[in-house]
Amino acid sequence: MANNIKNFSSNFAYDIDKNPVDIGEIWDVDVINQSIEMILNTYPGERLFNPFFGVGLQSKIFNLENQNEAESILDFVANGIKNWEDRIVVIESQMRMNVNSDEHSVILIIPYFIKKNGIQSVFKKKISNNG
C-alpha cells in the first residue's frame, strides 16, 4: 500500500514524502510554478471564499493592439504574482511575452528567485487562444 501512495503523490507538485508539517512552509520550485499558474488562470471572483484571488490573464492577453499594451499586461501579471505569491521575487526586468500570431498563442516567461533559499527559476507557459 505504501508503494501505491508514493505513485499517487508523484502526480502532484509537492511530494507528500517530504513532510511539510516539520518545516511549516513549502519552498519547492514545482509548487511555486503551480501557484503562479493558478494565480494567472483564476479569474477574480471565481473563488467563493477568496473573491479577490487571481488575475484572469486569459481574458486580457489576446486583446493586444500594440507594444504598450503588452508591457501593461506584463506589469499586471507581475503585480498579481506579488500580491498572491510572497515566497518569491519576480525579476520584472527579464519578464517576456512572445507572441506567435500563426499559432494564436503567447509564451509567457517569468523569471524569479525564491526568497528563502535564493534558488532562481523561470515560469514558462504557452497560452493558446482556442476560441
Q: What pLDDT digit, counting tens, does each position of 10-39 carry?
A: 444 555 455 545 555 677 899 999 999 999
Locate 88 and state its grid cell: 518569491
Q: What pLDDT digit, counting tens, does each position of 62-96 carry?
A: 766 666 777 888 999 999 999 999 999 999 999 99
**pTM summary value:** 0.75
23-to-26, 27, 31, 85, 110 alpha-carbon distances in Å: 8, 10, 15, 18, 27
Domains of the chain: 25-128 (3.10.450.40)
